[in-house]
Chain A
Amino acid sequence: MSFAIELKAVHKRFGRTPIINGVDLAVSEGERHAVIGPNGAGKSTLFNLISGRFAVTSGQILLNGEDVAGRQPQEINRRGLARSFQITNIFPRLSVYENVRCALLWSMGYGYSFWHRMGALKDVGGRADDIVERIGLAGRRDRPAGVLSYAEQRALEIGITIAGGAKVILLDEPTAGMSRSETADAIELIRSVTQGKTLVMVEHDMGVVFGLADRISVLVYGKVLATGTPQEIRANPAVQEAYLGVPQT
C-alpha cells in the first residue's frame, strides 16, 4: 500500500519546548483526511513541518514515498504538495487573476523565464481564468486581491493552493471566521476542487469535518490520539474526553 503522505516519528521542538512529540500518520492517495484537536495541539505546526516552512527536529516525512523532511518549501511544492494558510496569505496588490497566474507559472514550466511574454502564454492565461471561474471570483477578476471581502480572499487562498495542480493539498482551517452560508459554499468549493486529489485539512468546524473527511486524526499535545473513520472517532471515548473535555457516559 502506498501512501501520499506518511509521517514517521516526527518530533519538533522550539528551543526546549516540545510541540510535536512523535507523530505517526499515513494518508493514502485520494483520501480526504482531517486533523482535529484542541487549540495548541500542534495542528498548524504539523502543517508547517509537512510543507517545509519549519524543519523537523527528528523523524521522516514521506511524500509519495520520498523523504522530504528538511527540504525547502518550494522544493516540496515542486514535488506536488500545495498548502493554504490559516491567516490569509495572498498577493494583496496583484489582481485576482494575477494571483492565480503566479501560482500557475512554475507548474507549467516557465520558471524564472524572462524571455516569454505573459500575454502570449495562452495556456497559462486560459487555466488561470478557468480557476478564477471555479473559485467563483470571475466578477472580481481584475480587482486587487487586497480589497476583496474576507470570504472572497479565503476562496482565492484555495485558488492559489490548487492552481499548480498539486496532487496533495493541505488546507489550514479553510472555513475559519466564515458565516454559516459562506462555510457551506466553501465546503462545496473544497469538495469540487480536490476531486481525485489527496486532501489533508485542519478544521475546527465539526460540521465541516464530519461532512467532508473520509478519515480523521485527533491531535492532542503533539501526539496522535486516534485515527479512524468519522464514526470510529465519534465513538472513541478517549477522543471524547480529550477533545470535548467531558467524559461521556
Chain B
Amino acid sequence: MRRVLLWGVAAGVMLALPLAFRQSFALSMLTQMGIAIIFALSYNMLLGQTGMLSFGHAVYYGLGAFVCAHALNAIGAGRLHLPVTLLPLVGGLSGLAFGVLFGYVTTKRSGTPFAMISLGIAEMVAACALMFPGFFGGEGGIATNRVVGQPWHGITYGPQLEVYYLIAGWCLVCMIAMFAFTQTPLGRMANAVRDNPERVRFVGYNPTRVRYLVFCVSAFFAGVAGGLGTINYEIVTAENVGLGASGNVLVMAFVGGAGYFLGPVIGAVLVSFLQSVLSSYTQAWLLYFGLFFVAMVLFAPGGIASLIALHGPALRHGLWPRLVRGYLVAGLAVCVLLAGCIALAEMIYHAERGEEMGKAYAVFGLAVDVSQSLPWLLAGAALLAGLALMRPAIRVVRHAWSDVHAQLQRIAPR
C-alpha cells in the first residue's frame, strides 16, 4: 500500500514538474533526465543487482535508438503503421534482441573477464557504426522527424511538452517494472549471484543463466531509453553506441549509489543536471565533473544514496543539529579549497586559450587579468589554505559523528 502511494507521489511530481519549470531549457533538461533515469536503472540491474561491471551498456541503448530512427522514418514514409507513443517498445525489443545475441557471449564469464568482453563488444559495435553507413548513417548519423503519422487526440509530439509527458509516462512505467523485477525470483537470485555465485550453484541455480537472463532484461530497458532518445533528439549518431556513453551511464549509477534501487535515479538526475547546467557556465566542466567523480569514488564509494541512508538514523532520532554544525565548519574549508581549485583551473584555461576568448575575463564574477601575478597568488593561497584546512575539517566531522553514534547507542542499542 505504501509502495502504491510512493509511485502515486512520483507520478504526481512528474505531472507537476513542467508547471514549475516553464522555460524550454528546463523542459529539455527534464526530458533528458527521464531518459537517463531509465538508462541508469537498466544499467544498475547489471552493476548493483547482479554484480556485473559493464563497459558497453550504451550498445543496447544506441542500437535500440538506431532501429527506432529507421522505424520512425518508415512511419513517416508510410511504410510502417505504428503510433509514435509505442515506438520505445520497438527500441526495447531491438535492445532485447541484441542483448540475447551479445549477452550470450558476454555473460559466459563474470568479474573482470565480463568487463573486458563488454568493452570489446562496445568497441566492435562502435567500429561497425563507422563501417556500415547504411544502417548507422556514418559520421552524420541518422536524422529523423518525430511528427509523423496521424495525431492522436491532437497529440503530434511536435511541442516539447508533449514529448516530456511521453517520456515521463514511459519513465514511470519502466521504473515500476524494473522495481517489480527486483521482487521476482529471478531478481532475488540476481542478488544471490552478486553476493556469491559459487553458492548459487549448490542451491540449484546456474549463475551463468541468471546473469544472461538479467542481461537480456536490462538490454530491453536500455533499448526503451534509446527509443525515447530518438524521439527526443530526432537524431542518432555513432556517439550513442560509443564508449563515452557507456562510461556516462556507469558514472550515473555509481555516483547515485549502485547498492540502492533509487541510487541510479539520483545519479541520473544529478549528472544530467550537471551536464546541462555546468556546461553552460564553463568550458572546463568536464574537468570538474571528473574531479567530482573521483571525489565520490574516494570518499563515498556507496554513492549519494548511501550517504542519505547513513543519515537516516540520526535524522529519525533528531540528532541532526550536531551533524549540521560539523558540516558547516567542514563545508567552509571545502569551499576555500574549491574556490582555489576552480580559480586556478579557470585561469589556466584562460591563459592557454586567452587569445580566442579575449583578454577580459571573470572568475566568480570578478574581472581577472591573467597576465598579473596577484590573481595567481590569491588562487594558489586559497588552494593551499583549503588543503591545510581539510585535516581539521575531517576531524570536526568525525567528532560530530562519534558523538551521534554514542547517542544513538544510548537511544537504540543494538
Contact = CB atoms under 8 A, between A and B. Distances in A.
A52 B204 CA distance: 12
30 contacts: A52-B201, A73-B202, A74-B201, A74-B204, A82-B202, A89-B196, A90-B199, A91-B196, A92-B195, A93-B195, A102-B189, A103-B203, A105-B188, A106-B204, A112-B189, A112-B209, A112-B213, A113-B185, A113-B186, A114-B184, A114-B185, A114-B217, A115-B184, A116-B185, A117-B180, A118-B185, A118-B187, A118-B188, A119-B183, A164-B204
B206 A74 contact: yes
Contacts of B186: 112-114
Interface of A: 51-52, 72-74, 77-78, 82-83, 85, 89-94, 98, 101-103, 105-107, 110-119, 121, 160-161, 163-164
Contacts of B213: 112, 114
Given A105-B189, A112-B210, A91 B184 contact: no
Given A91-B192, A93-B195, A102-B188, A77 B202 contact: yes
A90 B192 CA distance: 9
Contacts of B198: 89
Question: Top 8 nearest A-B pairs by Cβ distance?
Answer: A106-B204, A91-B195, A73-B201, A110-B185, A114-B186, A103-B203, A114-B184, A102-B192
Nearest to A79: B204
B191 interface: yes
B293 interface: no
Nearest to A78: B204
A119 B191 CA distance: 16
Nearest to B194: A93
Nearest to A52: B201
B21 interface: no
A125 to B, nearest CB: 12
B181 interface: yes
B198 to A, nearest CB: 7
B203 A51 contact: no
B349 interface: no
Contacts of B192: 91, 94, 102
B205 interface: yes
Dominant SS among interface residues on chain B:
helix
Contacts of A160: 199, 203
Given A72-B201, A94-B195, A163-B203, 15 more contacts: A74-B202, A74-B204, A77-B204, A91-B191, A93-B195, A94-B192, A101-B188, A102-B188, A105-B188, A112-B213, A114-B186, A114-B187, A116-B185, A118-B183, A160-B199
Interface of B: 180-181, 183-189, 191-192, 194-196, 198-206, 209-210, 213, 217
Given A89-B196, A93-B191, A114 B201 contact: no
Q: Is the interface of A mostly helix, strand, loop or mixed?
A: loop
A78 B209 CA distance: 15
Contacts, number: 97
A91 B202 CA distance: 12
B179 to A, nearest CB: 11
B92 to A, nearest CB: 15
A74 B204 CA distance: 4
A86 to B, nearest CB: 13
B201 A77 contact: yes
A90 B196 contact: yes
Given A112-B213, A160-B199, A117 B183 contact: yes
Nearest to B3: A119
Nearest to B214: A114
A114 B181 contact: yes
Contacts of A116: 184-185
A102 B183 contact: no
A76 B213 CA distance: 22
A160 B203 CA distance: 8
A94 B191 contact: yes
Which of B185, B201, B209 counts the most chain A CB atoms within 10 A?
B185
A101 B189 CA distance: 10
A68 to B, nearest CB: 14
Given A74-B206, A78-B204, A106-B204, A89 B185 contact: no
A49 to B, nearest CB: 14
Nearest to A145: B195
In this complex, which of B188, B206, B213 has the most chain A Cβ atoms within 10 angstroms of its Cβ? B188
A221 to B, nearest CB: 27
Contacts of B199: 85, 89-91, 160
